[in-house]
Structures are given as structure tokens and as C-alpha cells.
Amino acid sequence: PDKNSPVIVTANYKLTFDVVRNAISGMNLWMLVLNTHGVNVWCAAGKGTFGTGEIARMVKMTKLATIVSHRNLIVPQLGAPGVSAQD
């Protein structure tokens, strides 16, 4: 991947992580993995561990702004309840 590659956001739930990793194998993109304490995206969004705050924390922690030249993140639909684009 390079600075223009898309960034996919997912959870550290093992099944989800493995499926996403296998699906994107060989693709030119980045994967940002949130610490949902092993909980799937949908449940983590409801609990608050997959949301705007955790995304912002991981973007800062990984220094994503120095890796990519854009601010676009591809977030799973089931994570939408926990994410606010304005924040």
C-alpha cells in the first residue's frame, strides 16, 4: 500500500479480522484494527468500543496521517451506530 491507498477499519474480533485479512489479501490498501476487546463490530458499536473515540485514538496512535495522504476511512456498516463523521 502507499499514501493514496484506502484504509479499511475493522475490529480485533478474531473471526472478523481473519475474514477481512483474507478478503483483502493482495489488495493495495491499509487495515486499521480497533481494540474492541475481541468483540464483533456490531456488538462493540453498541458497547461503545467500536466508535468515533476509538477510531480517533487508533488514527493518532498509528500516526495514520503520516502514512496516508487522505482522511477517508472505510467503516463497516454494522459499526455505524458508534461512529459520527462530524466528530
Domain boundaries, the chain: 7-80
So what's the pLDDT on residue 52?
93
28-53 tens-digit pLDDT:
999 999 999 999 999 999 998 999 99
Give backbone dihedrals phi and psi of 66, rounded to 5 degrees, phi first.
Answer: -90, -10
So what's the pLDDT on residue 3?
98
Low-confidence residues of the chain: pLDDT under 70: 86-87
Q: Which of 24, 22, 15, 30 is nearest to 65 (CA)?
A: 30
Give the other-Cβ count within 10 Å of 48's Cβ.
Answer: 13
